[in-house]
Amino acid sequence: MEKLMYVLAAISLLACNKGPEPEAPAEGPRKIYFTGITESNDVGIITQRDTTDWRFDDKWVEQEEKLFPATGEQSCTQAHAHNIFAFPNPTTGLMKLHIAKRQATRVELRLVDQDFKVIFSRDSVLNGINIFDITATAPKDTVRLYYKFTDGSCVYRGHGDILVK
């Protein structure tokens, strides 16, 4: 019985000397992983599609929203004839971007690395093939092109992943 008393006393002392509970890490922006690409050749023929790329219905988190100035537009789900994709993908640094849009539609682009550092930014892009040389600025890794097509107060959002070799 005496040994049991010593054991209980030791457990009580250890419990009393317990340090404070460590604080839980602060919630930060969730990590966004760039995975999968829509593969395309030098002339823009898509050879393998990633179903999350080059769409117009993205639901962005705060980190993604902050890439563009807030202008109060609303996300739209109505039919449209817009189109966008990059080729070749993968690329060695010379990226061609095919854009089809209505004349009055404004297109904004943000190319970011996996840490969300902006590699390049464009706030007005024309219809047709736009060529960007990202050889000197993009890491040899998967980067993400965020785009926003704005028709008046209606906006369509999306992204496409690009592998730079």
CATH of the domain at 81: 2.60.40.10
Mean pLDDT computed over 63-84:
86
User: Is pLDDT at 90 greater than 90 in this prediction?
Assistant: yes
The total number of structural domains that make up the chain: 1
User: Is pLDDT at 40 greater than 50 in this prediction?
Assistant: yes
User: Is pLDDT at 10 greater than 80 in this prediction?
Assistant: no
60 pLDDT tier (thresholds 50, 70, 90): very high
Please indicate, yes or no, if residue 59 is contained in any of the structural domains: yes
Please indicate, yes or no, if residue 11 is contained in any of the structural domains: no
Q: Which domain covers residue 93, as residue numbers?
A: 25-163
Please indicate, yes or no, if residue 1 is contained in any of the structural domains: no
Please indicate, yes or no, if residue 72 is contained in any of the structural domains: yes
Please indicate, yes or no, if residue 138 is contained in any of the structural domains: yes
User: Is pLDDT at 18 greater than 70 in this prediction?
Assistant: no
Please indicate, yes or no, if residue 114 is contained in any of the structural domains: yes
Mean pLDDT computed over 46-62:
94
User: Is pLDDT at 86 greater than 60 in this prediction?
Assistant: yes
The strand ranges marked E within the chain are 39-40, 46-48, 74-75, 83-87, 94-100, 106-112, 118-122, 128-133, 142-151, 154-163
Q: How far apart are CA 74 and CA 111, in angstroms?
A: 22
